[in-house]
């Protein structure tokens, strides 16, 4: 099958899964913003997306997309390094001339930071919420009380710093991945190439800011719901 065996096919899979994950992040970011205005409203969403069958199915689907995206990223990186052979260091010369973005050169490193941050996020929230509800391993905080879990997590300065680093890496990763995915899918000619890059930077910046604002608001207890 060409989606698996060919280089172009693998890039298409990377692009489609990447776009799907960006759409999920958009939903997740909008959902998190609700916590800034209403504790009850946010917890209502958390309860709706708790250990229900549709939420579990969606979670498994997202996990599959993430795993496919990560696996294909490693495959393409290894393939590109093998193809370049001893000429791989010529990339640095091109980068220094301004023709290749820093994020493009360091996508693997950025991807690794994103994966580590994702695992941290899953531990702090998914493990303590959906997984705990499925397994019945209740702690002092109700698994459905997402607002309390946000307060608990970002009361720690260490987690705040780690999340900011993660979100910064995610910004670099997505700003490159956004236009790269559209280019792979053939949606960027000479005119639209720069336009998509500009649109991608604006879109991803707003998306990441949605997450950063929530982290900082709870870190400094400035969310209206915290009665600051």
Q: How far apart are CA 23 and CA 28, in angstroms?
A: 9
Q: Tell me the pLDDT of the chain (228 aa) as tens digits.
A: 656 667 788 888 989 999 999 999 999 999 999 999 999 999 999 988 887 888 899 999 999 999 999 888 888 877 777 766 544 434 443 344 445 567 667 777 888 899 999 999 999 999 999 998 888 877 788 888 999 999 999 999 999 999 999 999 999 999 988 888 888 887 766 777 788 889 999 999 999 999 999 999 999 987 666 654
Cβ atoms of 6 and 184 within 8 Å: the answer is no
pTM for the predicted model, two decimal places: 0.84
């Amino acid at each position: 099958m060409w989606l698996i065996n060919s280089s172009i096919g693998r890039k298409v899979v990377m692009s489609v899964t990447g776009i799907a994950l960006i759409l999920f992040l958009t939903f997740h970011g909008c959902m998190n913003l609700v916590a800034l205005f209403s504790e009850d409203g946010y917890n209502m969403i958390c309860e709706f997306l708790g250990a229900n069958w549709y939420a579990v199915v969606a979670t498994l689907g997202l996990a599959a997309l993430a795993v496919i995206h990560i696996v294909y990223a490693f495959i393409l990186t290894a393939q590109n390094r093998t193809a370049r052979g001893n000429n791989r260091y010529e990339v640095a010369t091109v980068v220094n001339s301004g023709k290749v973005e820093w994020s493009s050169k360091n996508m693997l490193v950025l991807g690794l930071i994103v994966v580590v941050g994702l695992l941290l996020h899953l531990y702090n929230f998914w493990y303590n919420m959906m997984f705990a509800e499925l397994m019945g391993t209740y702690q002092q905080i109700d698994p459905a009380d997402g607002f309390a879990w946000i307060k608990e997590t970002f009361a720690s300065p260490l987690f705040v710093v780690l999340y900011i680093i993660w979100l910064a890496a995610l910004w670099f990763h997505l700003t490159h991945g956004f236009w790269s995915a559209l280019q792979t899918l053939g949606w960027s000619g000479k005119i639209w190439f720069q336009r998509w890059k500009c649109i991608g930077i604006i879109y991803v910046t707003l998306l990441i800011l949605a997450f950063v604002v929530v982290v900082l608001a709870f870190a400094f207890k400035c969310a209206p719901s915290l009665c600051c």
